[in-house]
Structure 1
Amino acid sequence: MMHARGNAGPVRRNVLAALALAAVVPGISGCEQKPDPTTEETAAPKPEKSSAAVDTPTIGPLPVVGRSDLLAAAAAAADEVAAGNSLPKSNLQLTNRSFELRLPFACDGGILGKWGEWSFDPKTRVLRVTFRPQNWGDDPIFNRIAAGAAYDTAEGFWIERPWTRAEQCPPVPEPSPVSKTDPGNRIAPTPVTSGSVDGSLALVQYFSPDAPRTLRRGNRPYTYTAKIAAEGQAPPLGLRIKLVGRIAGFTDGQPIHCVLNTSSKPPICGIAVEFTQVILEDAATGESLTEWGG
């Protein structure tokens, strides 16, 4: 009996030591401690990783090609042809793009738009407008511009004053100076015409032999007749047509072809297009008076 009581002392001391250690070191007893609710609620949440680390840019429709872009592309093409080089590859980006271009006519001074006519009757207050595209079906220049592509006819408009991006009526030139030798006579200005031999840049639509004839304008003019409502209201100070369509391009993919007749004059260039809409506008206000197509 004395021997059993003697061994109980060390065992008891070990048990007490274990309990003391468990009280000092959390979790050593095998019991889980409950987290402090206050600490858990105020802890900042971990940011979640985004499934799309890189944003993919959205590609929208290409902007409409305007007069300034067409003039720049035509100048680049004419420059290369005049130098005997190939057409610029930079122009290829214009093919199959939409375009808009305005051509003024009925302007004060009468130097523009010989392809259009207009009249205004002050008594009836009726405005009459007639214009038509030019037909180049038998023109050898446009046959060369087509570069071997088969077509029945070609229609379009010359871009007058291709040295400016302006689409409104030009300012009226100042009167010619009086001749010192004969003060009673004024020097007559040089007449300006817009015939096919005088143009240098044209919007041209080639019609293939199998194209529907209903798409061709032919000899049918665009006509507009309207009575100005307000009595005493003046007619428009100028008119212009807005041409809307698609840059079609030639068989080589280029949108513009140029031909050189003589080294002393600039090349003659044609922009291959498809006209989809023709709009008659008041040149002063930009108001649309009527439209065809579309």
Structure 2
Amino acid sequence: MVFELKACRRTATALVLAGSVVVGCDRAVEPAAPPAPGPAPAPSPTLDRAAILTAIDAAASDAAAGVARAGPDPLVGRSFSLRVAFGCFGPEGVPPVGAANSEGRPRWAISDDGRAIRLTLSPSDWTDGDVSGPAPEGLETLSGVWINQPWMRSEACPAWSIREADAPAVPPPARVAALVMVRPTGASRVGRAGDQTFTHTVRAEGEAPVARPAQGYRLVLEGRLVGWADERVIRCRVVSPDRPPACVVGAAVDRIAFEDGAAGAVLSEWRPG
């Protein structure tokens, strides 16, 4: 009996050293289960270009499938900072100063004397409706800005170029994604279509011609997302089974800016007030 007790103690000691807990001499207790994982990290408070386009993709897929989401839209009230690169492949003609550019997309052009570059944006007036359908009631104005290359998540100009001789003879894709600046009665007038054309002039230094941008420019739109009449932030419309749905994002914009595409320096900005 003494021999068996000593053997039991030696076995218990060996098991303790091996990391097991011994009860009696013949039953080991399993280690405690690891603690449950904590809650998932909260999403970034500000949605960027990639996040907005991901949400548009999901809404477009639902529209194409005829699916209607139930429940509150988690995008309502979320802050956003959307960047649209433009002029990546060279200058484009812009209207003369004082003329309206209602295309809803930014452009830049070099002056006739080669001494200045003018950036311009005038939001489209979609008060009577947009690519996603008729305008909802109860809104004073709807001002649209197209999101270029919605299949590209990067905020910068593409790192490639296509020689004109190599470009296939295919028509450009239809524009299918836009941000609509919603202005209820009495809200901020920043970005209101027909009220303001946003322009900035980059001037040459010394006697040399103005330097062309190495990586184009960026338009910045910031604010918070708002729901339409159905309380969804993104509206989509199917125009053909062979084309992606056209979608627009409702937004209350409180900052518009032009940035240098290479360094990200702010060139000009506009805020309410």
TM-score (structure 2 length as normaliser): 0.68
The equivalent of 2:100 in structure 1 is none
Identical residues among aligned pairs (%)? 31
- 235, 247, 264: which is aligned to 1:286? 264
| 1:200 pairs with 2:176 | yes
1:134 aligned partner:
124
* AA aligned opposite 1:253: E
> How many Å separate the matches in 1 of 2:123 and 2:130?
18
**Stretches of structure 2 lacking an aligned partner (at least 5 in a row):** 1-38, 95-102
Corresponding residue number in structure 1 for 2:213 = 236
The number of residue pairs the alignment matches comes to: 221
Give 1:245's aligned amino acid.
Answer: G
Bigger Rg, structure 1 or 2: 1
Partner SS, residue 156 of structure 1: strand
CA distance in 1, matches of 2:152, 2:131: 24
Structure 2 distance, partners of 1:271, 1:250, is: 9
Write the distance in 2 (CA, Å) between the matches of 1:169 and 1:92.
31
Q: Does 1:221 align with 2:221?
A: no
For 1:188 and 1:163, locate their aligned partners in 2 and report how far apart those are by CA, in whole Å. 19
After TM superposition, the structure 1 stretch with the greater mean CA deviation from structure 2, 72-81 or 218-227, is 218-227
TM-score (norm 1): 0.64
Tell me the equivalent position of 2:50: 68
SS in 2 for 1:137: coil
CA distance in structure 2 between the partners assigned to 1:140 and 1:101 by the alignment: 20
Q: For 1:106-121, list aligned pairs within 5 A.
A: 106-108=87-89, 115-121=105-111
Cα deviation, 1:14-35, whole Å, max 9, x if unaligned, reads xxxxxxxxxxxxxxxxxxxxxx
**Shift in Å, 1:235:** 2.8
Measure, in 2, the Cα distance between the counterparts of 1:200 and 1:281: 24
Deviates more, 1:59-68 or 1:270-279: 59-68
| 1:8-157 alignment, distance < 5 Å | 63-87=45-69, 92-108=73-89, 115-121=105-111, 125-139=115-129, 141-144=131-134, 146=135, 148-157=136-145
Render the CA deviation track for 1:127-159: whole Å, top value 9, x for unaligned: 322221122123354444x5x433343102111
CA distance in 1, matches of 2:189, 2:155: 30
In the other structure, the counterpart of 2:186 is: 211
The AA in structure 1 aligned to 2:106 is G
Amino acid at match of 1:74: I
